[in-house]
Each structure stands twice: as structure tokens, then as C-alpha cells.
Amino acid sequence: MTSPLRREDVAKVAKLARLSLTDEELDLFTTQLGQILEHANDMSTLNLDDVIPTAHPFGLINVVRDDVVRPSLDRDVVLAMAPDTEGGRFAVPRIMGEAP
């Protein structure tokens, strides 16, 4: 698990994360993220094949709520937060592709 990070990886990740980076930022991030991943290599020496990953610190299960309607927010309050609205809806510039 040596750092496989290349400049084009960083560019690809930026696109996935919807961030645009300048050339200088790309260089800087490639170096910095590389260093962090290199530090993380200390984990690769461990044999963790049989270890069950932990996503939650405590093992709670079946936390559910009753199917009972609660008041929603006032629409005017919600729309007042939005950068742009029209006809009671949130307005956005054109969408270039359908949802996956």
C-alpha cells in the first residue's frame, strides 16, 4: 500500500467531489495527500484479514420510530433560505443529465 497518488488521480477526485482546483492547488494537494496516505501505510503492515470492520462504536440495533405524522416546516421559511425560487419550488440552472 505505497502511495499510489498521481496528479491525475487528484484531478479525478476533485471532479467527483465537485471542486475545481488550480494547477498550483493540484500540485500542492498531490504532495500533501500523498504524505497523508504514506503515513497511513503503517496500517498496511498489519494482517487484519480476520478482523470485522467497525462502523459504529456501539452495537445498537433496530432503532425505529412510529409512523406518525409530525408538523413540517412552513414553506415560506424554507424557501426564504434558498438562493433562487420560483412558484413555490427551488430553482436551479439547467440540469445536463438525468439522474443515474
Partner 1 sequence: MRLPGDWEMVVGLEVHTELKTATKMFCGCANHFGSEPNTNICPVCLGLPGSLPVLNEHAVDLAMAIGIALHSRIASSTFHRKNYFYPDMPKDFQISQYDLPINSGGYLDLPDGSRVSIERAHLEEDTGKSTHLGGTGRIHGADRSLVDYNRSGVPLVEIVSGPDIRSSAQARAYASELRGILIATGASDGRMEEGSMRIDANVSVRKPNAPFGTRCEIKNLNSLRSLQRAIDHEALRQIELIEDGGTVRQETRHWDENLGETSTMRIKEEAEDYRYFREPDLVDLDPDQRWQDRIRASLPAMPAERRAKLKARLVSPAQAQLDAVEVVIDLGLESFANAAIDAGADPALAVARAANELAAGIEDLKNLSAEAFSATLLMEQRGELSATQAKTVLGELLASGGDPKAIAAAMGFEQLSSDSLGATVARLIEENPDEWTRYREGDEKLAQFFIGQVMKITKGQANGKAVIAELQARR
Partner 2 sequence: MKTAQSIAREVQSGESSASAELDNSLSAIRARDEELNVFLYVDEEGARATAASIDERVARGEDVGPLAGVPIAIKDNMCQTGIPTTCSSKILEGWRPPYNATVIDRLIAAGAVPVGKTNLDEFAMGSSTENSAFGPTRNPLDPSRVPGGSSGGSAAAVAANMTPLALGSDTGGSIRQPAALCGLIGMKPSYGLVSRYGLIAFASSLDQIGPFSKNVMDAAILLEAIAGHDPLDSTSLPEPSPSLVAHVNDGVAGKRIALVRELVEGADEDVVISVNRAVEALKDAGATIVELSIPEFRLGLSAYYLIAPAEASSNLARYDGVRYGLRVDAEDVAAMNEATRTAGFGAEVKRRIMLGTYALSAGYFDAYYGQALKVRTRMIDAFKRAYQQADLLIGATTPSVAFAFGTKTSDPMSMYLSDVFTIPTNLAGEAAVSVPFGTGEAGLPVGVQLLGPGRSEAQLFAAARVLEIAEDRS
Given the rule CB under 8 A, which residues bind partner 2? 1, 4-5, 9-10, 13-14, 16-21, 25, 29, 32-33, 35-37, 39-44, 46, 48, 51-58, 60, 63, 65, 73-74, 77-78, 81-84, 90, 92-96
Total residues interacting with partner 1, rule: CB under 8 A: 36
Q: Residue 87 CB, nearest distance to partner 2 (Å)?
A: 16
Instruction: Identify which of 10, 6, 7 has the alpha carbon closest to the alpha carbon of residue 19.
Output: 10
